[in-house]
Amino acid sequence: MTINLKKGGRINLAKEAPGLVRVGVGLGWDVSNYDNTFDLDTSAFMLTEQGKIPSDEFFVFYNNLRSPDGALVHKGDNRTGAGDGDDEMLEAQLSKVQEGITDILFVVTIHDAEIRNQNFGQVKNAYIRIYDLDTHAQIAQYELDEDFSYETAVEFGRLYLKNGEWRFMAVGQGYSTGLQGFVDKYA
């Protein structure tokens, strides 16, 4: 059974998916204008309570595919988003997350958005979903239902620790920045 989250919606993984060991995080999107190449990039910031990454290696993206604690693995860059299903994926093993990290924030940015004059107003069917990697059962999905226009970057969802239990929240916050803007904010 999958839970459809709205913006701001939260679930407790310990309650909704007891026995969950490895979490799959899938992001998908399509674009309305296929004459143009849209390269959306998924990245993750593993944050402490201070809202910062403890070191650069806890910024997991296409050039740093694995966090130092081995808890988070990025499955690689998709350059077009063509086709159905997940376009970019990450795998998380929450029991391995380094102590002190309380938040794993997933963001999506458009590569070279400014140069190519692209924004999320041209992106369709964008979603983030989390599932059990071992059983492939989907746990929750959040479809980006905001009417974005000029935004070029989105904080999409986050896994976060509360009272010793991991939870997931649908964030859906757009920004007119790029990956560097998030690095400036969280590094």
In the complex, which residues of this chain contact Ca ion (CB under 5 A)?
A: 28, 30, 39, 41, 77-78, 81, 87
Q: Name the residue nearer to Ca ion (CB basis): 54 or 121.
A: 121
Nearer residue to Ca ion within complex by CB, 41 or 103? 41
Count of CB atoms within 10 A of residue 83's CB?
A: 10
Give min distance, CB of 30 to Ca ion, in A: 5
State which residue, 87 or 103, has the beta carbon closest to Ca ion: 87
Min dist CB 90 to Ca ion, Å, is 12
Least separation, in Å, of the C-beta of 115 and Ca ion?
Answer: 15
Nearer to Ca ion by Cβ, of 39 and 69: the residue is: 39
Q: From CA 87, how far away is CA 81, in angstroms rounded?
A: 5
In angstroms, give the least distance from the CB of 35 to Ca ion: 16
Number of other residues whose CB lies within 10 A of the CB of residue 37 = 15
CB of 109 to Ca ion, least distance (A): 9
User: Cα torsion at 123, 128, 133, 135 (round to 10°)?
Assistant: -100
